[in-house]
Copies of this chain bind each other. A is one copy, B any other.
């Protein structure tokens, strides 16, 4: 492949891996198979990313930008004829602006490392989710990642102050600006955030940091009715005024599965309808615990909560979070699990989950539904576990059972995971024909040759 020779000549031998040099590379956290790609290209600077893309663009070579490969919907899946572009050699921390609470990093840095750098300066990078140790800042931004603290600090979009992107043709765009306000023409960086690598390659970013809360208090609460859960959200949000950082909801059956798997006694008996993990981060542990305690008492008094436990130590807090975040119990219990990530209005949730459950009971009676989610964000995750090997027709039927009633009640087929390949065929059910036409228009504007992550989110433009 003459293009690979050219890339090697310009970027150096070690920057371009192909053939046997790729054998040890996996296709990602959820995909034990080897990475398939014509080559893995690893530029060491923005200039090298620009050079690599300019060469690929000239050759009409499809390029798949990859990060930590933890994506759940195939947004970074690579084909044999495609070049995987990894920023793993661009993982430097470039600047920590302590007064301005801003962190400038290269996009190949992992989220966890960025969190650690912020913490070392008494600051907080308020993005957090399970894949923190593997996922990269570039991937976080390209997928507009969410996670556990969106309720308080927003999605990745809310935390990007400055962005540098290389366009498909090698032009370098954007500015590493550290301020929170800029209304100087169209805010182009918004187009790249959440575009799943189809419009440009994120190379560097300035991320907003927060003062690191000195406090922290965590509680697990049990409720019987869904209306108790939504009333509880309002009650604790008011009572914890500004310090509520997480409000994670688990349906009773999800809690039962994960609490039983942890070893030792469950923090609360698995007999309630719903469980809510509430976390407050304010000025001190004592103040946070006092406010949370008072909120719990008010919730008991109002009849919204039937049982509760406050974490009394770091390990107790970790145990509560492990119940919420563990994926192993589901993996052990089922031969295959289908994962869904939807958003919808709070007042439509209970009926929606009921419809999915009823549909499954009819069409896939062996399947087991577990539901949890980030209630304050309107975001539910549905896990459909299959105890036995499952036919393609059944998984397709389950998809329809999940998405049909969702679309009917105005919900969204992806809250935080993205579309990638796996949800592509459902996108036209979630977005209008005019919206899809404009998305294709944006794609043509930023990547007219269509070389960047082709076929992700939507199929290549027949006109392009």
Copies per complex of this chain: 2
**Contact present for B234 and A211 (CB under 8 Å):** yes
Neighbouring B residues of A438 by C-beta, 8 Å: 173, 186, 188, 445-446
Neighbouring B residues of A283 by C-beta, 8 Å: 238-241, 291
Known contacts being A99-B347, A241-B242, A283-B240, is A177 close to B412, with CB within 8 Å?
yes
- For the complex, is A43 an interface residue (Cβ under 8 Å from B)? no
**Contact present for A431 and B241 (CB under 8 Å):** no
- Scan A139-182; emit 1 where CB is below 8 A from any B CB, else 0: 00001101000111011011000000001000111110111111
- For the complex, is A88 an interface residue (Cβ under 8 Å from B)? no
- Measured in the bound complex, the distance between the Cα atoms of B446 and A412 in whole Å is 24
Neighbouring B residues of A442 by C-beta, 8 Å: 186, 191, 442, 445
Q: Which residues in chain A, 176-214, are within 8 Å of chain B measured between CB atoms? A: 177-188, 190-191, 193-195, 199, 211-214
- Scan A323-347; emit 1 where CB is below 8 A from any B CB, else 0: 0000000000000000000011111
**Contact present for B241 and A415 (CB under 8 Å):** no
- Measured in the bound complex, the distance between the Cα atoms of B24 and A80 in whole Å is 69
Dominant SS among interface residues on chain A: loop
**Contact present for B347 and A378 (CB under 8 Å):** no
**Contact present for A173 and B432 (CB under 8 Å):** yes
Known contacts being A347-B97, A442-B445, is A180 close to B238, with CB within 8 Å?
no
Known contacts being A179-B345, A188-B438, A410-B175, is A281 close to B241, with CB within 8 Å?
yes
**Contact present for A144 and B183 (CB under 8 Å):** yes
Q: Please give the distance in Å from A441's CB to the nearest CB on chain B.
A: 4
**Contact present for A180 and B377 (CB under 8 Å):** yes
- For the complex, is A436 an interface residue (Cβ under 8 Å from B)? yes
Q: Looking at the complex, which one of B99, B175, B188, B282 makes contact with A234 (CB distance below 8 Å)?
A: B99
- For the complex, is A262 an interface residue (Cβ under 8 Å from B)? no
- In the complex, given contacts A100-B346, A180-B378, A187-B194, what are 13 additional A-B residue pairs having Cβ atoms less than 8 angstroms apart? A150-B181, A157-B190, A177-B410, A179-B345, A181-B343, A182-B415, A184-B412, A184-B419, A213-B242, A239-B283, A241-B242, A241-B282, A444-B445
Interchain residue pairs A-B with the least CB separation, the first 4: A179-B378, A242-B242, A190-B190, A181-B415
